[in-house]
Amino acid sequence: MKYIKGTMTATGEVGGSDELNVTTVNTHPVPDIRTSPMPNGNHKTVVDSQPKRRVSIISDAPMNVGAAGYDNLAFEQNPRRKISQTSTHSHTDIGPARRRSILKETPLHDNESDRGSMHSLDNYRQGVIDGLNGKYQGHQQPGSHDSTNYVEQSWMYSFCLKCRGEEPTESWEPPFWQKVFPYPLCPTFRTFSRLIVLILIGILLWIVAFVIIGDTAAPGGQLFSLVVLTVAANFGGYIISLTTLPRLIGMLLVGILFQNVGWVDLDGDFSKVTGHLRKFALTIILTRAGLEMEPEAFKKVYKTILKLGIVPWIVEAAVMTIMSHYLLDLPWIWGCLLGAIIAAISPAVVVPCLFRLRTKGYGVAKGIPTLVVAVAGVDDALSVAIFGIVSTIMFSDKGLGYQIAQAPVCILGGLAFGVIWGSLARIFPEKGDAYVVPLRTLMLFAGNLVAIYGSEELGFEGAGPLAVVFSSFVSNLFWCKDGWDVDDNPVSTAFEIFWMIFEPILFGLTGATIKISELDSHTVSIGAACIFTGVIIRIFITAGIAFGDRLNTKEKFFVGLSWMAKATVQAALGPVALKNLGENATDEERNWAEIVQTICVFSIVLTAPLGAILISVTGTRMLTKTKQPQVLTGWRRSHRPSIRDISIIDEEEEREDPEVPTDKETHDNTQNNAHLTNLSYTASK
């Protein structure tokens, strides 16, 4: 009995279709197929010296899905999909596949004209560059034949490419687009269309808000002014980010510009709205600080983190308190309030700069970037907690016993709430829930808001910030045990998106509190001296107490330099003291509150850009570079995230379980293939 090589379709038929590949186990070369005569005169098709060949279904995914498809087209095909119950390729041998969220699905360009347009686009771009190079060389001396690509080496070309940004996939463009908006001077069609959509959405939402709210949403109203300020601050941050400086600098400058030109007025009753926006922003800042602490690193070097996070903070806060009391005539309690705010570190400035150094391999061997980020979280929690305690004592009219109880109650209450709420976040929702990411995000955010507002309502304002940081840290600790990665935590990504919304609001509002015409030059100059004095002393204290931490002298000073930038906490808490003053406050108290607010704003202007520059410049000279390349696609995200970075469904593929009854198609397929242990048939006549 002879056999012929064949293929098998998904329904068990044998034929020449390429719907499903077949692999053969063959120990001999495949001979030629020819016709041999039979004794009775008939002919038979045979394969000489062809042994039996076992045929098995290999695991390659079908190449042609077609209109019917195998699964929902919104999800990626499983590369190891079981064809029937008798298939030997089980998904348990290879682990689960990831199901792609619909939000992350990239549409395919099946249109021939689209593919042609994209192919011609590359040719057009290269032609434009070659043409510009030719014109440039035409202005050179006649005898020179230099093939240097002057266009791609020019600063204008680099600047335009930086403005265009990087897209995850090639952008489709109409045929006329490059003629009207040439590359690389103009944005892609995708960027342009996205901008148009955002403008249309903004206009439609404004119309709805105007119909519901009324005049405050009309041009000239306070809500309308806030929206315009936020949009302008976001644009100002984008312009500043092109220089690699922190975006918040541009947002702050836009707020100062709007206030002093007279384009915004957010005082009066609307100040209550801005106060609540600041609390929301503060909640997001502290939640991100807790989520960015790596539990494993904290467990291993918690002594170093606490030592470097608490001792330098106390020293800088004390320096600011003493200098502001003697040089700015602030009372001791107001000096403590100012010192608690100024001593905080800004992760919004530190983290992006550390990411650029880490991608190049600087400081990775000793874990310096992780250490700096962890200490920044502890530092912010300490600043906000002490500020809450001091603020409660200042603006409370209760007895001495209540004021003495502030510190222990706030610390113990904040820790207890954080541990309890973080533990609940592990159990609820259940980790296998299809909507575990949005539910965990909303639950953590809502609980932290309750902690901030509840502690204030109970009169223990310092407990709320500690509760927020600890609940976020404890939640992250349990989620990491369940398999999530700190660097690619989807809840952390969600809060980063929240921060992208509230960042221009916070820094735009903070900048709008500064009126240049009312500034006192003496206050500004003395305040700047106090800020830099505290920063310099903190750097030396950090380098001095970092003994026994396996850091050399240069690395110790770099760690101190990286903690000089001020931004987020100062913007959130700087104007709070002035807002808390009642109608019966004296002019002297208002003057003190304005001094605190002014110094907080100028601490951002002075230290944020300087800190970012010093981290970038000194990092390459003071840190040791590892030789191995660093692939850090997840570490603190090199790009600004979007909603595409969050899967709102569980990304575990729903697999076909052998114990679960199969559908009719799989059952028929199994029955047809059950007897085919070897694919063979008799071709005799």
Mean pLDDT of 362-368: 84
Segment (H or E) for 34: strand 33-37
**pLDDT score for 116:** 45
pLDDT digits (tens, 9 = 90+) for 287-302: 998 998 888 777 777 8
Kindly give, in sequence order, each residue whose CB lies less than 8 Å from that of residue 275, ignoring residues fewer than 6 positions away: 576, 579
Q: Is the pLDDT of residue 598 over 80?
A: yes
Higher-confidence position of 60 and 357? 357
Q: pTM of this prediction?
A: 0.71
CB 295 within 8 A of CB 473: yes
- Per the listing, tokens 């926006």 go with 277
Q: Is the pLDDT of residue 157 over 70?
A: no
- Angle of the 368-395 helix axis to the 463-481 helix axis, nearest 10: 150
Higher-confidence position of 602 and 80? 602
Q: Is the pLDDT of residue 420 over 70?
A: yes
Rounded Cα distance between 599 and 611, Å, is 17
The candidate with the shortest Cα–Cα distance to 253, out of 501, 499, 505, 507, is: 507
Q: pLDDT confidence of 243, banded at 50, 70, 90?
A: confident
Higher-confidence position of 401 and 53? 401
Instruction: Give percent of the chain above pLDDT 70.
Output: 67
Rounded Cα distance between 219 and 228, Å, is 10
CB 41 within 8 A of CB 33: no
| DSSP-derived 3-state class of residue 55 | strand
* DSSP conformational letter for 144: -
**pLDDT score for 558:** 92
Give the phi and the psi of residue 433 in degrees, each rounded to 5: -65, 140
For residue 627, give both structure tokens: 């030789």
**pLDDT score for 546:** 83
Mean pLDDT of 39-46: 47
Q: Which amino acid is at 545?
A: I
The candidate with the shortest Cα–Cα distance to 668, out of 63, 7, 83, 71, is: 83
**pLDDT score for 606:** 92
Q: Sign of torsion, CA 341 344 345 346?
A: negative
Q: Is the pLDDT of residue 331 over 50?
A: yes
Q: Is the pLDDT of residue 24 over 50?
A: no
| DSSP-derived 3-state class of residue 349 | helix
Q: Is the pLDDT of residue 507 over 90?
A: yes
Q: What is the mean pLDDT of the chain?
A: 76
Q: Is the pLDDT of residue 218 over 50?
A: yes
- Angle of the 490-511 helix axis to the 587-622 helix axis, nearest 10: 130
- Per the listing, tokens 């250490």 go with 371
Mean pLDDT of 334-351: 92
**pLDDT score for 84:** 43
pLDDT digits (tens, 9 = 90+) for 63-100: 444 444 444 444 444 444 444 444 444 444 444 444 44
Mean pLDDT of 523-544: 94
Q: In the chain, what is the straight-line distance between the N-terminal and C-terminal CA atoms, in Å?
A: 11
Q: Which of 40-44, 295-299, 395-399, 436-440 has the lowest mean pLDDT?
A: 40-44
**CB-CB neighbours of 105 under 10 Å:** 13
CB 553 within 8 A of CB 541: no
**pLDDT score for 150:** 57
Q: Sign of torsion, CA 150 151 154 158?
A: negative
**pLDDT score for 352:** 84
pLDDT digits (tens, 9 = 90+) for 107-145: 444 454 444 444 455 555 556 666 655 655 555 544 444
**pLDDT score for 298:** 79
CB 559 within 8 A of CB 565: no
Q: What is the DSSP string of 272-321?
A: HHHHHHHHHHHHHHHHHHHHTS-HHHHHHSHHHHHHHHHHHHHHHHHHHH
pLDDT digits (tens, 9 = 90+) for 194-216: 889 989 998 999 999 999 988 88
**How crowded is the C-beta side of 540, counted as CA atoms within 13 Å?**
5
- Per the listing, tokens 């030059």 go with 521
